[in-house]
Amino acid sequence: MTNLGTSIEDILETFEFIEDWEERYGVIIDLGKKLPALDDIYKIEDYRVRGCQSQVWLVPQVTKTDTGKVISFKGDSDAVIVRGLVGLMLVIFNDKSPDEIISTDAKAILKKMDLKEHLSPLRANGLFSMMERIKQIAQSER
């Protein structure tokens, strides 16, 4: 649903070459800038991610294919860096089957990025809340 024109492999590779965290934050912020605006009709409690300090919304779309279901997401936040983190979650999880989403080790990906150590505790909790919400949605679509 939301194609941000990059892959998690591309992001990991970029992070390998950029050591400065200001520049790495720039990459994350750019991901957020690529997110299409989320229509206000989706900015409701049903789609809000609890556990985030900022307002975050994740809207799933389930498509049935010949091989099963595929889930993609739209997302948004009212904070610039968090919007980039939403974009990162979409790059990791979009257009996958429920089983693929559940089996994706996003924490390992984030560890490779050294992200948790460079986020405030509240932002890190919010990021993990997004991850958990995506996995809950996938679980419900199995």
Residues annotated as catalytic (active site), given as ranges: 52
CA distance 16 to 124: 21
DSSP string, 29-59: HHHHHHSPPPPGGG-SGGGBPTT-SS-EEEE
Helices 21-34, 80-93: inter-axial angle, 10-degree rounding:
70
